[in-house]
Structure 1
């Protein structure tokens, strides 16, 4: 763009209320009913709360923007900074309301946010009113549109639309495109219409009701979904028979006697895969590969499978009560090996794979789970039930091969090569039956719509139609999504979870992979429990109601490296994360069913037999010829995609890019470093972007890796990017380090202290990630940073230099000694000679540190005192040698017993070293977290997160009592 655009600094480039955003994002992960994520499964979808906050903050001007434009580089007066802080807190309050789940569709709250966006937009337009392209780029009456070129599950476009922006979503993956159409494109087309189904047309309540938004549309989805379920029951109901409780069954099971004569609906059939016994004497027998025999571990409701062996045969019997020792592991041994139920001979992984590949893997019914008025009933296998499953046949099946070496796929090792192999014959039959019914439902809906009075223009949904045919096709999309829910819980990879918290079928994609499942649970799609079609329909209908229907949206299939949709649009995006998720390979699971149902509706979208994969920006070594080639492919493609965003995005706002962090990537002595992270950053910087900020956002549940106390890092970083100046200079490594040393201390202070009266410091768990932002802002604003030999500095090197900053020593000599000794030994003992050497290097002595009261040194061994060992009789006024190390641990000692008020008295007594004490707590938290010292990390984290309250208590502490803290 030839003329310079004046760009006010945005809030996201200065400050964010991270705690509120992170809390809302974490909470949202446990919300299911009515959440858009229940529309259709997608992997690693960003939380709506985070998306909403980020888009708002990248469009709203920071209060400092005028000063920054008029006085670049000048230090503002304190009164002005205080005014900015107050204004930021007002914006923070809007964000805190905005991210609350209950306010997702609260129009009053949303309108506050939209008003701020419009206000900032008018300020930007006024600033650029003399720009030669002002009419095109800066129309104060029309906000710029939004685009996400890696739209995936659609969270970002949906939230942009909710904030009042015309939303555009694009993705290479047709499943993702369809999800986005269902979220942002289709609902506004048919908003405000009453339902067309005959039941609603004749209902008095329906005629009197105000069908706002997508309510009428959702009502039709429910109605025609119910019709499909009724039709399926008529056609294939005989293959899902109920269980009648007989006297014979109750003979050995007294708990069944109250149910005599009742016909119970089956919830699940639990099958064990089988192979021929490796023992020659039993080679003719198919023996079970059961990972567990436990059906329910709930106290008072326990049930298990008891295998009963008779010579060369066996049967399964379901027993009630506490499972015996060994039942938990079934016939499974360590690491995927099993044992023969008859001979106890080991069944190796290699043997199982060979049998499966030869087509000799079968399955056998192990137990039946039914539903009674009293609750779940666990039953032994019944021949009638096994026969019903064995008679099922499908008229069609998805005989499409999948990529055997796809990321996270393990099923190819066991004879599964086609998508149809993942389903039993009965599962294929029910999915095919419902699939056929979608086409029939479309015809019925179109007829009902015409009878209702909707125009019959024979224009399809893909062609932009809004008449009867398009309406019917639109309903068909959501019915197909409901069927995908059946597929997800209705494959032979679904497990039965016996734990009290679950006690049901675990879906195929409980994680973003396809591992092998040995004993699997088959759902009842015609029943009322997990995996049934009607529940899928209800979930889809509820999720439709949160779509915004008064602002249009569009979804397209586009390659992010080639698209032009981003032109003059606000951009926020969540690109694929290196080699973590193979979206295209995984989504074929759904695509093969969606294509059969919806190809007549979207012929272009479903033109290919499987999802396009060659251009997908995922580093899959097996697809690209090796790890190096995969990295090169990812770097080249991502650089190209980012370059298009850099060139095309609307100049008024920064581009925000999400990067999903892996916990393991932070566990290095050199700081935050990983191949994927470095490669991604390299691509962003090569594309022409300069980073102006990074914000760690928690997008996963806090317990995502159970049992690891230290695992509390943010799982995503939002990069804030602007185009690098075409006049960017080249600097030396020495100059880069000098600038880092100027910028990072101030950034660290801002991040750990927060700003304004409503302080929101960056939590210790996020600090090392957040510090990448200001550091990379320095690195990326230059055309290149040159090493001593004249070669450009690598991103990896820059990251290490930035992360090293957190390890620098800015404390007194005694504290420096303690810090480095602790890093080496923790609270354990070490040799006096090593302590003496370290103490000399740090400008102190072992005796001196011992005199300060923080060190035990005797008999040739040295160790640091833990805070609980410090003398209770301590008066800071009489302490002639008080290192920051001691001040911090005294603070912890008192905080643990007297809370914030007591700690405040301690802080008041050591006020001169308060700032150093706070920074040491951050430093020690980082050290302990990386070392896996969870208890110690928690202690330091408690001090940091309570710092504002401790400061307040210190300010209120009576001066006269400060010398009597421990007396």
Structure 2
């Protein structure tokens, strides 16, 4: 009886239709209605399309798998079969097919067929009964579940799905999507349809649709009860006859923060800190506020028409907290504002009221009565807990907003308290209504695994509590007003809690953003679309969990130092705890989300950058070790990773997040057998131009053999050269019909086969006996990709790849970021080198004519071969061989790399048919002898540039 597990290669270990997956991911980012993300915000969600494609290809055998088992295979037959699987993936990733039952059955059958083949291969294994039951697929686990995209898709593809996370907010979201729907699948709604309500569906209660309908009904009930209690705080407003007359419902109240004027003559007045006085910038519908100043103070008037330039800046003078006094024009600097805020002397002043007119938004000047109504609100409960004082992207703490309760107006707190308190009342109503529908009640709570009336009442209360939490993203005093869209923009447009000088206080009963009824309806649409099968969501630390045992694993861990999830999620946690602690007492036992064990390299938590990196490396190694030891041996583990690239060069750099993460994966006992770049982000709005990510790198890993040997650097390079040629040919479509990888993605994808060689050994030893670092291995893999590339620096490698993809045209920052990461540099670094323009989310290479004519290599601290080459072309074309020769004389170490690069680029341009682009390189090559002679005549000039390669 054999003890060796036969594990056929899976499709993801060989090929993927990347272009189709990436296109579906990009499209999905614009979809909101019916998407699980509509349930509640979570940061850095992966697209469902990517998760679905990865899991499917992780479970399905590659048609050429017999080669991996030492048997021959018909290449043409394998190519045809692989293309058939690609067609399934192409259909699976389309949003309109997300609940296409016929397609999902086809995908599930394909998965089962591969599983039965694997079971047959291992039928004589001593653990066959335990590991290889052909009638039951292994279960699935994601130990860093976050927003739940990956476990949702595992469930959709027919696997029993388990989601775990350390963060209780994430656990609640996963319970709402993969656990609770399965418990109550197929149930009819029990909530009564009240007068004035409507149901979106009658008699069709498949999956979680009955549960979704009850969320609509009880959400409407809760909103109506809240309106009875606090509707007086949002009275209708009078509209002037000039713009229609009558009464209108206020949608939002626009406030500006205030401080006492620093001018002694007006120190008794609170003056506004307004970033703009423009309310609407829509063409033909422009509206702005004008401060009307008198001896007694100031008021605000609302005007329609093109705003003057002075209105666009409000009272702001420059970036940051720099304003002017509206009474005296006295500057108000940031230190003064911070001091006033910390002392508790920062106030608010109403700028305008936005109401719902008959055909468009109506902007009204504030009145003392409207402002006085807002100030009558007195909350009975204010959330406590410290706002994070250090966050990437900004925090409001320096301005005195230090407690969670400081982030809301009094009226907002009253509204949120009212909604929260009504969750418990709604639960009692649900419980009473189940009795009228004949439900039996076993008294078992939802947290204890209940499926009866008590558990159902808990479930509806959970969704309503999540709805309250979701509305806080809009109902807070740090949201901003969009002039172009004429609506409130949520606080968490990015992973930060930045200061907002003017903010909209939305009316939760206005039928616009922040309306509680709209929130529950949107959530219900998302619930309609989930796959209501068995699933489990639990709180667990990835470093110590044992839930992965014998399971298929795909996961999306924290990204080094990018997002401090626990710090940010406390904003929601304090509200979820208020509503849901009676339902999940253990999950909400602590006052805040756990932070100390969170695997994020936050320097402020660990006393410095080095300690934070060490914490991340050790912790992630422990977590990956758990996965390597527990994962089902028949399947590879897939791990997503993405991060903002820090500055690197070819030698002497500290570890980046990417390198640190790879080191953790390899140290944990994994061998990496594939890397696939998937475009899982769509930088828009506030993300554009802020180095937002465009891709996740999906690592495909298997447990390294316990008997793995060590090899020398020379042996590694020899094996790398032999293996990489075939692997790269496969990626560009030259082997067995493998789907081609785009040029911009090739460098990153090729890391997979290169790291497969590096990571299958217990160590690669340098000449001095030390272990080769991940950084060195990545550099060698990258250089092996490019013929003659050893003499080129990392910036030049990036430029080569970008030119191959884009020529002189502009491309998306995200694509450039992916390529830069793969090449061991960064977009910012290449820009600093002076060879690209990076602005407004676009990146383009500079043409030779755009290079500065007064360039001096002696004073240039960063001179890529690419820059030197194009400076020579500029000098040759603008002056002649003598000028180019004089410049080359000042770059003696770069002579051969420059000429080699010119040949490379000429060949590339010729291959692509770029005659105009090829001309400059051809001229340099044909003039090279004359340029060299001119350089010898010029001789060395000053200190010479030393290129670090």
Taking structure 1 as the reference length, the TM-score comes to: 0.82
- Preserved contact between residue 567 and residue 595 of structure 2 (Cα < 8 Å): yes
Partner of 2:714: 734
CA distance, structure 2, for counterparts of residue 17 and residue 197 of structure 1: 46
Secondary structure class of the residue paired with 1:199: coil
- Preserved contact between residue 49 and residue 100 of structure 1 (Cα < 8 Å): yes
Partner of 1:779: 758
- Preserved contact between residue 145 and residue 170 of structure 2 (Cα < 8 Å): yes
Partner of 1:827: 848
Q: Is residue 509 of structure 1 aligned with residue 492 of structure 2?
A: yes
CA RMSD of aligned residues (A): 3.3
Aligned length in residues: 841
CA distance, structure 2, for counterparts of residue 674 and residue 764 of structure 1: 26
- Preserved contact between residue 275 and residue 286 of structure 1 (Cα < 8 Å): yes
User: Residues 400-434 of structure 1, C-alpha deviation per residue, up to 9 Å, x if partnerless?
Assistant: 22342355451111111211110000000000000
Shift of 1:202: 15
Q: Is residue 790 of structure 1 aligned with residue 769 of structure 2?
A: yes
Secondary structure class of the residue paired with 2:211: helix
Q: 2:180 aligns with which of 186, 194, 200?
A: 186
Distance 1:208 1:784, change over 3 A: closer
Shift of 1:711: 7.8
Q: 1:659 aligns with which of 641, 645, 658?
A: 641
Q: Is residue 627 of structure 1 aligned with residue 609 of structure 2?
A: yes
Distance 1:711 1:522, change over 3 A: closer
Q: Is residue 107 of structure 1 aligned with residue 101 of structure 2?
A: yes
Shift of 1:883: 6.6
- Preserved contact between residue 97 and residue 103 of structure 1 (Cα < 8 Å): yes
Please list, as runs of the form range in 1=range in 2, the aligned pairs for 1:596-615 lying within 5 A after superposition. Answer: 596-615=578-597
Secondary structure class of the residue paired with 1:522: strand
Shift of 1:747: 2.4
Partner of 2:672: 691
Partner of 1:151: 145
Q: 1:554 aligns with which of 512, 536, 557?
A: 536
Secondary structure class of the residue paired with 1:746: helix
CA distance, structure 1, for counterparts of residue 233 and residue 36 of structure 2: 33
Distance 1:344 1:656, change over 3 A: same
Distance 1:753 1:832, change over 3 A: farther
Distance 1:156 1:205, change over 3 A: closer
CA distance, structure 2, for counterparts of residue 202 and residue 315 of structure 1: 41
The farther-off stretch of 670-679 and 326-335 is 670-679
Distance 1:209 1:639, change over 3 A: same
CA distance, structure 1, for counterparts of residue 653 and residue 688 of structure 2: 22
Q: 2:443 aligns with which of 442, 448, 458?
A: 458
User: Residues 294-341 of structure 1, C-alpha deviation per residue, up to 9 Å, x if partnerless?
Assistant: 111101110011111113511111110001012111111222111111
User: Residues 497-525 of structure 1, C-alpha deviation per residue, up to 9 Å, x if partnerless?
Assistant: 101xx221010111111111110111111
CA distance, structure 2, for counterparts of residue 606 and residue 586 of structure 1: 16
Secondary structure class of the residue paired with 1:31: coil
Q: 1:725 aligns with which of 689, 692, 705?
A: 705
Partner of 1:933: none
Secondary structure class of the residue paired with 2:213: helix
- Preserved contact between residue 278 and residue 312 of structure 2 (Cα < 8 Å): yes
Shift of 1:810: 7.6
- Preserved contact between residue 456 and residue 467 of structure 1 (Cα < 8 Å): yes
- Preserved contact between residue 673 and residue 799 of structure 1 (Cα < 8 Å): no
Please list, as runs of the form range in 1=range in 2, the aligned pairs for 1:816-965 lying within 5 A after superposition. Answer: 827-828=848-849, 858=880, 860-862=882-884, 885-886=905-906, 888-890=908-910
- Preserved contact between residue 505 and residue 530 of structure 1 (Cα < 8 Å): yes
Shift of 1:891: 5.7
CA distance, structure 2, for counterparts of residue 819 and residue 235 of structure 1: 66
- Preserved contact between residue 197 and residue 448 of structure 1 (Cα < 8 Å): yes
Partner of 2:830: none
User: Residues 571-624 of structure 1, C-alpha deviation per residue, up to 9 Å, x if partnerless?
Assistant: 000000111001111111111111111111111111111111111111111111
Please list, as runs of the form range in 1=range in 2, the aligned pairs for 1:431-510 lying within 5 A after superposition. Answer: 431-499=416-484, 502-510=485-493
Q: 2:565 aligns with which of 576, 583, 589?
A: 583
Shift of 1:486: 1.5
- Preserved contact between residue 671 and residue 803 of structure 1 (Cα < 8 Å): no
- Preserved contact between residue 681 and residue 693 of structure 2 (Cα < 8 Å): no
CA distance, structure 1, for counterparts of residue 292 and residue 650 of structure 2: 55
- Preserved contact between residue 128 and residue 138 of structure 1 (Cα < 8 Å): yes
Taking structure 2 as the reference length, the TM-score comes to: 0.84
Q: 2:662 aligns with which of 674, 677, 681?
A: 681
Secondary structure class of the residue paired with 2:6: coil
Shift of 1:707: 7.1
- Preserved contact between residue 158 and residue 183 of structure 1 (Cα < 8 Å): yes
Please list, as runs of the form range in 1=range in 2, the aligned pairs for 1:225-624 lying within 5 A after superposition. Answer: 225-245=219-239, 249-250=240-241, 254=242, 256=243, 259-260=244-245, 262-311=246-295, 313-336=297-320, 337-499=322-484, 502-549=485-532, 551-624=533-606
Distance 1:690 1:267, change over 3 A: same
CA distance, structure 1, for counterparts of residue 762 and residue 405 of structure 2: 53
- Preserved contact between residue 481 and residue 540 of structure 1 (Cα < 8 Å): no
Shift of 1:50: 0.2
CA distance, structure 2, for counterparts of residue 272 and residue 811 of structure 1: 58
CA distance, structure 1, for counterparts of residue 81 and residue 735 of structure 2: 11
The answer for unaligned runs of 5 or more in structure 1 is 835-841, 864-881, 898-902, 904-967
Distance 1:728 1:109, change over 3 A: same
Shift of 1:732: 1.3
